[in-house]
Chain A
Amino acid sequence: MRKLFTTDHRSLGVLYLLLSLAAVATGTLLSLLMRVHRIWPDTPLPLLGLMKPEDYLALVTMHGTLMVFFVLTVAPQNGFASLVLPGQIGARHMAFPRLNAISFWLMALAFTILISAFALPSGAPLSGWASYPPLSAIASAGPGQGTGMDLWLLSIGIFCVAAWLGAVNLLATILGERGAGMTWSRLPLTVWAWLTTSILTLLVFSVLLAAAVLLFSDRHFGSSFFVPLNDVVNGHVVGRGDGSPLLWLHLFWFFGHPEVYIAILPGMGLATSLFANFTRRRVAGYKVMAAMLVAIGGLGLLVWGHHMFVSGMNPYAGTAFALTTMAIAVPSTVEVIGWLSTLWGGGLRLTTPMLFALGFLSFFIAGGLTGPILAQPALDTYLHNTFFVVAHFHLIMAMAGVFSVFAGIYYWFPLMTGRMMNDLLGKLHFWISLIAAYGTFLPMHISGLAGEPRHYERLAGPVVSFSEILPNERGITWSAILLGAAQLLFLWNLFASAKRGERATENPWQATTLEWAPEIPRRRIERGPYEYENGGTESMFRPQWESASKQE
């Protein structure tokens, strides 16, 4: 109990991670059900029976919502930041420890509310994680769009507040609690990433909250923000005023695009640190890398329209958004080239965290390269809402994101438990996951190019059967099952190592950043974050907690 209602930032970090572990386990199960249903749509599933079309859509919606909010926001942004951010900047605690606990409990509440939608007789909502109105605004538009959708809105509303409190806390901590001498250019790149994502969180989650309030008012108070005049749903005229569905799209994607960067920037910062550590090199162009993280965040606020090229948005706006999107590809490229050049001739130490960081890089490139293709409105006309987009964001956000979270867990596990995770199991987990993930998401490009739209409950419809991509889809499903199964290795490793793992030495990765300091330094910090020296076989490194004059 004492441990549960803790305000200690490290315990809270672990709690956040456990929450996202629960969410990722649920989300993965849902996705496997979807994959199985897609290739055997008429086979009853054990326990669940025959899946109805609305069940499939409910699975997609809940899967997306869980993964985007409760996994890829909670783990990298709140979990890891609570765990190590104060340590990394030489602070004793978060600026507001109790606020951190409140934010965690709100997130747990939001999670419970969301999951409880499955228990409703009418089922969970089915309008997808982007919840476009009028489908999401009118209860009679589909099963699950009544109470289920209300629960979704409530859960997201609470999550917005929680994320917002979390971001306030992180910002106040980074700005106010840095140890003496911890100047801006001595911050590890993870801290730069958290700084950026926290600002983004403040700016965009409040907009999502406002949008959710408007939608809720449309649903219950008879307003017409998003429902147009004379809208007829299910034989009833429900539209009362000149509401505009496009308004929701703008508000939602103004949140939605920065949100994907909230998910990935911490991973980018972590990968940079790991590459430096396991090549025993300084980060190539530290200042540039930090600046690019911030630039990506800033530009990320200006590109939301690339989700709306075919939505009926003004085509000139489409051009503008296409250009800003091309512009954001540049800082991303700078980051990737920075990593590749740090690795070049680096004599990598292929530890498990390093492998996962390399996996992150591989997926980031694989998914990132389809970004500029989708950013061309003329091409996106064909590709939008097909499996090509599904492939894009699963590679860059889901896989790159999750691999960076794995890297973080393997890397910081000693900080959580004082033990190491099993290396052999870890490496097995990595290789199976890597291959299965590529096996799952690369072939999706082919389905997408063949014109297969997303959110399809079955391939064969009244007119098109997509029979030519069925083998491809089968392969994807088997791969996905393998991918899911590989995570059992991870779970086993996680809990077994927490109990019986090998005891970690002090600073087991020979890292330089402050979270590994034996105690919180009381002295002024005088070093940069990545002072590794590549001295032949015996490597030298200068942790930030050592004073500048001691060495040499």
Chain B
Amino acid sequence: MPATFTPKNVEIERKHTGIGGKPPVDRRPTGGGGDGDNWDNRPSGRRGPRELLSRYRLGVLFALAGDLMFFVALVSAFFVRQSAGHFDARENYVSDWHPIAVPPILWVNTAILLLSSLTMEIARRQLFREIDVMEEWLGLGRPAVKRAAPWMVVTVVLGVLFVIGQWIAWGQLTQQGFHFNSPDPSSHFFYLITGTHGLHLVLGIVALAAALGALFTLKRVELRQIVVDCTAWYWHTMGIFWIFLFVLLAYFQ
């Protein structure tokens, strides 16, 4: 009989995957078993301490690539819509596109978001400092967690500030008479772009908070690295997306 899907020892194996009996410090060219022992020649799940990390990084990378296309589609709709118009009664070509000036608070928000990326990067690096990782791996204490946690808290606060800032910007726009359903296409795009990006950020904040909690509950150091590392990459990418979207809204209306 061929290998049918009788429950395999998959579950058991998963628990041990990625350890390879080595501390999750920077990858060495060889597997450490001497003489050309390359991680890659081993079956998956035995490819050294960084295997799991790179798997998750890959996943986040692809997910973000898809997300990028989402925003690319929105942006191309933006440009198409911007150039649209119609002929009025006197056969003049008119467009209903009226550029809106972005509320100045967006500059502050942008600065906050950039800063939060910086703090997040500092937090992320804490988890990859070799001495601390060794210490955590050997179970002597949690210096990396202790160092990273405050920076992550700062990131969460900055992230929340950014979202509040966006909220304020929306309020200012509404006061000027630009609602989502006011007939202006540029305001639809403003709300849609900032809205979908804001939604991504809210998800990011939730992820950050979860990662923060996980820092203290996860037992294995390489898992702690993964949660922080993946949220960090997500966070940075949202920052980069924001810069592009902000430039679009501020200068390409």
A residues near B (Cβ < 8 Å) are 8, 10-11, 14, 87, 90-93, 95-97, 99, 164-165, 167-169, 171-172, 175-181, 202-207, 209-211, 213-214, 217, 221-225, 228-230, 240-244, 247, 250-251, 414-418, 503-508, 516-522, 524
B58 touches A180 (CB 8 A): no
| Distance of A414 Cα from B180 Cα, bound (Å) | 56
- The residue in B41, B72, B81, B181 that gathers the most chain A C-beta atoms within 10 A of its C-beta is B81
| Distance of A517 Cα from B43 Cα, bound (Å) | 15
Per-position contact with A for B64-94: 1 when CB-CB < 8 Å, else 0?
0111111111100100110011100000000
A206 touches B3 (CB 8 A): no
Per-position contact with A for B1-43: 1 when CB-CB < 8 Å, else 0?
1111101101001100000000000000000000000001111
B190 shortest CB reach to chain A, Å: 11
Q: Flag whether B141 is at the interface (Cβ < 8 A).
A: no
Please judge, given known A-B contacts A167-B62, A518-B3, whether A92 and B185 are in contact too, CB under 8 Å: no
A85 shortest CB reach to chain B, Å: 13
Taking residues whose C-beta sits less than 8 angstroms from the other chain, chain B's interface range is 35 or more
Q: Interface majority SS on B: helix, strand, loop or mixed?
A: helix
A217 touches B192 (CB 8 A): yes
| Distance of A82 Cα from B58 Cα, bound (Å) | 18
Q: Flag whether B146 is at the interface (Cβ < 8 A).
A: no
Residues of A within 8 A of B213 (CB): none
Known contacts A167-B66, A176-B54, A416-B4; can you find 10 more A-B pairs with CB under 8 A? A97-B10, A168-B63, A171-B58, A202-B66, A206-B69, A217-B192, A225-B81, A242-B86, A418-B4, A503-B1
Residues of B within 8 A of A169 (CB): 59
Q: Flag whether B174 is at the interface (Cβ < 8 A).
A: no
Q: How many pairs of A and B residues are in contact by the CB < 8 Å rule?
A: 170
A73 shortest CB reach to chain B, Å: 15
A520 touches B65 (CB 8 A): no
Q: Flag whether B188 is at the interface (Cβ < 8 A).
A: yes
Q: Flag whether B139 is at the interface (Cβ < 8 A).
A: no
A247 touches B81 (CB 8 A): yes
Q: Give 11 pairs: A residue, B residue, CB < 8 Å, sorted on A.
A: A8-B5, A95-B55, A165-B63, A171-B62, A172-B58, A179-B44, A223-B192, A241-B96, A415-B4, A505-B2, A521-B43
Residues of B within 8 A of A229 (CB): 86, 96
Residues of A within 8 A of B70 (CB): 206-207, 209-210
A242 touches B96 (CB 8 A): yes
Residues of A within 8 A of B14 (CB): 93, 97
| Distance of A99 Cα from B59 Cα, bound (Å) | 10
Residues of A within 8 A of B63 (CB): 164-165, 168
B71 shortest CB reach to chain A, Å: 8
Partner of A504, one of B1, B40, B71: B1
B180 touches A203 (CB 8 A): no
A5 shortest CB reach to chain B, Å: 14
A311 shortest CB reach to chain B, Å: 14
Chain B residue, CB-CB nearest to A198: B62
Residues of B within 8 A of A165 (CB): 63
A213 touches B59 (CB 8 A): no
Partner of B84, one of A207, A221, A242, A505: A242
